[in-house]
Chains A and B, each alone.
Chain A
Amino acid sequence: MKSLEDLERLRERAKEATRIRENAAATRIVVGMGTCGIAAGAREVMTTILAEVAKRGLTDVIVTQTGCVGLCDQEPLVDVQLPGQPRVTYGRVDAARARDIVARHVVNGQVIGEWVIATK
């Protein structure tokens, strides 16, 4: 059972991580959360990415969301931008792809070409 007291314990650990995050250039992960994205499974993609980033203890990653960009048939969409790198957009992402994107692209810096639909 999770309690508010657990949160205070987490805070102490997160403080250190936040300090690291403020100094380092962060990787940005953006999940499309328009109606089209939501209907296609963007929530599971978002919660999977958050869980994966938390499990791996990645402190230099910011996970955020955006609305519809007009590529509704390719949803769920996930953008990954490593510091100083072009922004890569992945299409038709599910929980399994999301875990792979974190492991291969975010952690190891390898773009997964077959799922990419745009690079900018």
Chain B
Amino acid sequence: MRELSLHLLDLIENAIEAGARSVDVSIIEDPAQDRLTIAVADDGRGMAPELAARAADPFTTTRTTRRVGLGLALLAAACERCQGSLDIQSTPGRGTTVTASFRRSHIDLAPLGDIAGTLATVIGGNPGIELTYHHVFGERQFCLSTRELKERLGEVPLNVPAICEWLREYVADGLAQLRGEAQWRG
């Protein structure tokens, strides 16, 4: 994947596929410790320990449309390439938390990329789920919660295309501000 935000999209799609009703995303950029951590926690059906242990294996998948499942395998490879690791914690019936960590300054680390596009895609395509997004950069942070947006919107659903467009620009502006830049550069 060319951007970490594409891995993030893939992780959130996994959570939705697992029947999650709420998904909590956190991205922690720590320039002082030179770490980047991306975590996705869901309340989906979870995995038995045997499946969780094999989840990052490219020949493990729950799909019946194909016999390979590359999402977590690609992410694990990206983590290992950048002096990081992939951790999967799962409890059947309770949910799964996937945490990917990287050395932030590593030359092979892909950019975070279009996070705003990832969030607009997920929220626009799945207006029923509750998503929180928490992005820390050093001392500053940017937060988003679909629950809060829904309160403001009342009976208007989040998947109205004009609302998705607003959401994408709102996140891009918020993240640029977080980094202290005029425009989000990933």
Contact = CB atoms under 8 A, between A and B. Distances in A.
Given A47-B121, A70-B66, A2 B160 contact: no
Given A7-B153, A39-B1, A63-B159, 15 more contacts: A7-B152, A8-B152, A14-B153, A17-B162, A33-B125, A34-B63, A36-B70, A38-B10, A46-B120, A46-B121, A50-B120, A54-B165, A63-B125, A65-B125, A70-B65
B138 interface: no
DSSP majority for the B interface? Answer: helix
A120 to B, nearest CB: 16
Q: Which 10 A-B pairs have the closest CB atoms?
A: A70-B65, A65-B125, A54-B161, A35-B71, A2-B170, A53-B161, A54-B162, A14-B156, A2-B169, A46-B121
Interface in B139-157: 149, 152-157
A4 interface: yes
Interface string B122-139: 001110000000000000
B168 interface: yes
A74 interface: no
Contacts of A64: 125, 159
A78 interface: no
A33 B9 contact: yes
A18 B155 contact: yes
21 contacts: A2-B173, A7-B163, A7-B170, A10-B166, A14-B156, A17-B160, A18-B155, A18-B157, A33-B125, A34-B13, A35-B74, A46-B125, A47-B164, A47-B168, A51-B161, A54-B162, A61-B161, A62-B159, A63-B124, A69-B65, A72-B66
Contacts of B30: none
Nearest to B14: A35
B164 A31 contact: no
A104 interface: no
B117 interface: yes
Interface of A: 1-4, 6-8, 10-11, 13-15, 17-18, 31, 33-36, 38-39, 43-44, 46-47, 50-51, 53-54, 58, 61-65, 67-70, 72
A51 B156 contact: no
B31 to A, nearest CB: 24
A43 B121 contact: yes
Interface in B41-67: 63, 65-66
Contacts of B170: 2-4, 6-7
